[in-house]
Structure 1
């Protein structure tokens, strides 16, 4: 895969505070790449450094092999879509989209033609003569995307552009964004704290915490094979269970569960001793007796398509189970003793 962006040991300091600690990443050409993490983890700072709005303290940023670390923002072939769309309120939709082209010196006929093509791509050509105030939030977001894409940047940076939209519109825009990226062939670098956004749109995800990259990989790998407790706990829902590890060899671990059952499971890393397993709630089944883990049902929560069964282990730890809601599912009442069965491969030993 040809690299569009390379970050080499990138450090960012603000006085005595280090916001980024030696970040090294490679983002492929024509890739939808997401920087995912909680507020304050450094993901927006990293995006702003690629755009040129923040200086690099140490390290290099390369764009298609060329070092752009010290280059001004307007001399980088990248565009940014921010959380606030910043459309010009006095300009029509098509003039907003054409504005960047005008700044580049393109003639009127050519820039209106390209702006029209961009509006057609985001399904807003019929709204070309309206003002931004006459559009919905989702329509304004698509205008901002069309404006950013019109100059044909090599890379498009997106800083939480969906966060101001309601849930239904966010879900629809995820599909549109991914489709737009595939149609244009432009590298998208997307910043979000929303795990579902990252999982549904990305080719690859970099999970960040405290200015460091914790794990990089495709969505399925990040979800199914987290490397440590932070990634397992941040991506989706998981049960973290402390267990005794007897041995780790060849990427597999032999562990003793509470209650004495022994299982073999994949291991991110680790040695013998006390460590944590990650067990996703949907990878568990409930039985009236038996099972690798025993628990007591505390509460049943109706979630529409799913049922959340909140249980408590004998040692006091809470343990969640997710079952698909169906008339065929026997739902245990609160106070019921149950056995929890682990699907094959459901547990993963984490590097703490």
Structure 2
């Protein structure tokens, strides 16, 4: 992988508070890379350090091998799209997009041609002479993207740019944003707390918590193979159960669940003793009798295309599963005792 942004042991302190604890990651050229985590995890602080809006307290940020940590924001070949688009209300859409080019000294004809090309890319050519107030939220967001892309930065930083949009528009813009990144070939670093956004668009994701990187990987890696309880619980929906690892042999653990149920799961690097296991709800299925687990159905929740069954083990531990709504004729009623079968590899043993 050719590295675009190389973050090496970056520390950021605000007085006695440490917001970033030696964060390191390598972001590839032409990659859509997402910083994901809850509020206060340090993701926006890291983005602002890359942009130059915050000084680092320690470590290095390198762009194509050059340490940029000491460069002023306007001397870094990066641009930022903020949550609030910060368009100039008195300027037309074309002039908003061309503003950064004007600041760089580009001539009128050339910057208008570049602005026109950017507006065509975001499907807003017909709106070039309008003011921002005459545009919808989604259109304003695309103007902000076009303005940030016009100077052809090496890296585009996006700080939760979709959060102000309604759900349907946000979903549509995810697709457009990913297509735009693929078309331009620019490295995108995207900040969000929305797991679905991250899973939908990203080539890779860095999950952050309390100023630490918990895991870096593809969407499939993060969802299917979380490395610890935080990642498993934060990404999507899961069942987290306390278990006891009885024995480990050739990378496979014999595990006892609450209530005495025994299953096996992969256990690379795990030792016998207390741990937690993650089981995704969609990887459980109902079987007529027996199965890996016996549970009692407490509630059935209608979710449109899916149904959610809230069940409980005899030990009292809750266990949720999902099934397609098309299978509603097979749905057991509350109070029914059923058996559950785990898909192969469904139980993921976690480090705490």
TM-score bracket for this pair, using the shorter chain length: over 0.9
Cα distance, 1:264 vs structure 2:
2.1
2-structure distance, mates of 1:123, 1:73: 29
Query: Is the contact between residue 227 and residue 268 of structure 1 (CA under 8 Å) also seen in structure 2?
Result: no
Query: Is the contact between residue 3 and residue 27 of structure 2 (CA under 8 Å) also seen in structure 1?
Result: yes
Specify the alignment match of 2:99 in structure 1: 99
Deviations for 1:152-201, whole angstroms, at most 9, x for unmatched residues?
A: 00000000000000000000000000000000000000000000000000
Deviations for 1:112-149, whole angstroms, at most 9, x for unmatched residues?
A: 00000000000000100000000000000000000000
2-structure distance, mates of 1:73, 1:248: 52
Specify the alignment match of 1:43 in structure 2: 43
SS state at 1:183 partner: helix
Specify the alignment match of 1:126 in structure 2: 126
Aligned residues: 352
Query: Is the contact between residue 261 and residue 292 of structure 1 (CA under 8 Å) also seen in structure 2?
Result: yes
Q: TM-score, normalised by structure 1?
A: 0.98
Query: Is the contact between residue 259 and residue 313 of structure 2 (CA under 8 Å) also seen in structure 1?
Result: no
Specify the alignment match of 2:77 in structure 1: 77
Specify the alignment match of 1:192 in structure 2: 192
2-structure distance, mates of 1:119, 1:251: 54
2-structure distance, mates of 1:239, 1:255: 15
Specify the alignment match of 2:201 in structure 1: 201
Query: Is the contact between residue 259 and residue 315 of structure 2 (CA under 8 Å) also seen in structure 1?
Result: no
Specify the alignment match of 1:252 in structure 2: 252
Deviations for 1:243-301, whole angstroms, at most 9, x for unmatched residues?
A: 11022355432212334443221236431011111000000001342111111111100
Specify the alignment match of 1:150 in structure 2: 150
Specify the alignment match of 2:313 in structure 1: 313
- Give the direction of change, closer, same or farther, for the CA distance of 1:155–1:250 in structure 2 (3 Å limit): farther
Gaps of 5+ in 2: none
1-structure distance, mates of 2:284, 2:329: 14
Gaps of 5+ in 1: none
Query: Is the contact between residue 10 and residue 57 of structure 2 (CA under 8 Å) also seen in structure 1?
Result: yes
Specify the alignment match of 1:88 in structure 2: 88
Query: Is the contact between residue 268 and residue 351 of structure 1 (CA under 8 Å) also seen in structure 2?
Result: no
2-structure distance, mates of 1:96, 1:129: 10
- Give the direction of change, closer, same or farther, for the CA distance of 1:237–1:118 in structure 2 (3 Å limit): same
